[in-house]
Amino acid sequence: MASVSNPDRDVFRERYATSDADVFLSAELEVLGSDYQANGYTTLAQATDLGRVLRLTEDHLLLDIGSGCGWPGLFLATKHGCRVVGMDPVEEGTGVAARRASTDGLGDRHWSVRGSGDGLPFAPQSFDAVVHTDVTC
């Protein structure tokens, strides 16, 4: 697995530590239309389009590469009933995502994995769909 450099990891660690602050959530809700503690630029409309284009259903397993806090993968799982694996190289992000998955009632339909898009730790054809929004990993 390629790793995120320490300076980058520190930036993400700091971002996730404060991402639940009311001021950040309010801004995210106004700009993106979501409140997932997102650190990207994918809007609610774009995430909704992803689900429509991918034709996600409860029978699908989705991989969200670079998932960080879980946006938009958790949203898609909640909206379409699919299962989702969120993969991110920064463990603080996967912790935020796991808490949100619990809040959203996803239970055993969500898994967080530490990993990077340049070395997927999965067998070929393990997923029905893949999203990767606002990522460099």
Residue pLDDT, tens place only, 59-104: 999 999 989 889 999 999 999 999 999 998 888 888 889 999 999 9
Q: With respect to CATH, is domain 6-119+127-131 assigned 3.90.1170.50?
A: no
| Mean predicted lDDT score pLDDT of the chain | 87
H-type helices in 55-132, by residue range? 73-80, 91-103
User: How is residue 50 written in tokens?
Assistant: 């992803």
The Cα-based distances of 66 to 58, 69, 105 in angstroms read: 22, 9, 22
Q: Is the CB of residue 47 less than 8 Å from the CB of residue 75?
A: yes
- pLDDT-derived band at 1 (thresholds 50, 70, 90) equals very low
pLDDT given at position 52: 97
Q: What residues does each domain of the chain span?
A: 6-119+127-131
> Rounded to whole angstroms, how far apart are CA atoms 82 and 59?
6
pLDDT given at position 136: 61
